[in-house]
Amino acid sequence: MAQQIEIGRYLLHAELASGGMATVFLGRLRGQVGFSRTVAIKRSHPGFAKDPEFVSMFLDEARIAARIRHPNVVPVLDVEAREGELFLVMDYVHGESLARLWRLGDGAPVDPAIAGRIAADVLYGLHAAHQAKDERGQPLGVVHRDVSPQNVLVGADGIARVTDFGIAKAVNRIQTTHEGQLKGKLAYMAPEQLEEKAVDARTDVYAAAVVLWELLTGRRLHTSADVGATITRILTGKVPPPSRVVPEVPPEVDALVLRGLAKAPDDRFATAQEMAVALERTLRLALPADVADWVSARASDSLEERARLVAELETSDASHDSRESGTARAHELARAAMASAADGDVPTEPLRKSDPRASAPPLEPGSKSNVNVTRSLAPPRSGARRGVVIGVAALALIGLAIGLALRARPRPEPAAAGVVPASATASALVAPLAQPSAPVADVASPALAASAPDAATAPPRPSAKRPAVGAPAPPAAPTGKPTFGSLSRE
């Protein structure tokens, strides 16, 4: 297993690529409650973080790339700075750089349909960078200035993406290029960039056209052993049409490529998107699935090794302590929610050590037995007890309502013998509702007793003796309208 380095909430795993100032690692973002994500982390070489110019350039890349949102641009997710080092966190692209794919193909010409598709993806990504705006909606004026096969990633999904905006020029960038200092790869620089004139989107169009010419022909365009000769060729040399080098290239592509390579910016495509659209209208470009097959055919071994590293990283991260603690916390919350749903209660204090739930084993996701374990550890259900309490309270409220209604009625004259007064029938109404099979009781409801007037101030009420159980029923009231006293269980 590759050596792993922890940087805050990130885990650096295996090295993917290395350059003059930084190394790119396969990494892992570890969040809370078990969340994680595979990322690519660019780590500055030791000592560079002490260079103010390098630090400003590093931060420029993060700030500028964060403002570009497009599927053909590798997004930047975060920046970390600690212990004299800088870390740039980017989205992980499962694929290879265009430079490596070209080398794996022994520099052979690429099928025009695939080469055009890759170039169009690069141009669309560059156009998104050129159109990027700041937080106030003002154009940033981004120019990549380092478009090259090394800074193009072609994914196993068949999508090409632009990366590495480290030396991009923006209107309000922090880092500025010193006079007489060139940044970027010489072989892909436009004439105005070499002459230190103003650069704009058309400068990146020129570099993309160089990449397309090299893919179509399988040759380097401006490379020379002598730097001076390379510069002279860029500034004054003539570029042969691609079809003259490789006859299989459609002739209609020649004019398109040569326009992108024009020495005067005004003679080129005005925008990267304009050149991408021209490519799509001129060539029958390959589908992403076709590009994916081309990538797999050239880099199957390296992609398999990369997939193994990703699986190794994810497996090791799954057993990390922070992930386990986060998962345990999630299970604890789930167990509390289930107990709350079962009991209608949410615990408001920590469990004591004597409580069997405190020593319960953590739940395993997807296990059916966990539900039974959780319910058996939950407090006994109180549903039946609550039902009784609610029923008694309801009956008490009914009795209270009847009592208030009776008090509001005018008091009748004393009833004839054998008629039960209305004031004595409230409990007789409540009792049959609570216990239909029991005889009528002569005990008043506690709720009514509590709501009755004080005995010292209440006027005397007539009383009547209840007939014994089994005695004949009292005669009916003389009036035609039945009274409360005439109600019975029948």
Please state, in angstroms and rounded to a whole number, the distance separating the CA atoms of residues 382 and 436. Answer: 25
Identify whether the C-beta of residue 436 lies closer than 8 Å to the C-beta of residue 485.
no
Residue corresponding to tokens 């345990």? 328
- CA distance readout (Å), 294 to 106, 108, 149, 393: 14, 13, 16, 78
Residues 113, 115, 118, 124: is their CA dihedral positive or negative? negative
CA R_g for the chain: 42
- CA distance readout (Å), 442 to 391, 423, 428, 430: 21, 12, 7, 11
Please state, in angstroms and rounded to a whole number, the distance separating the CA atoms of residues 11 and 14. Answer: 10
87 φ/ψ angles, rounded to the nearest 5 degrees: -130, 125
Active-site residue among 121, 146, 164, 204?
146
Q: Where are the alpha helices (DSSP H) in 195-287?
A: 201-217, 227-236, 242-245, 252-260, 272-282
For 72, which DSSP code?
T
146 is catalytic: yes
List of long-range contacts for 274-278, beta carbons under 8 Å, 24+ apart: 275/123, 275/205, 275/208, 275/209, 276/119, 276/120, 276/123, 276/124, 276/127
Residue 106's region, left for phi above 0, alpha for psi from -120 to 50, else beta, is left
Identity of the residue numbered 270? A
- Catalytic positions are 146
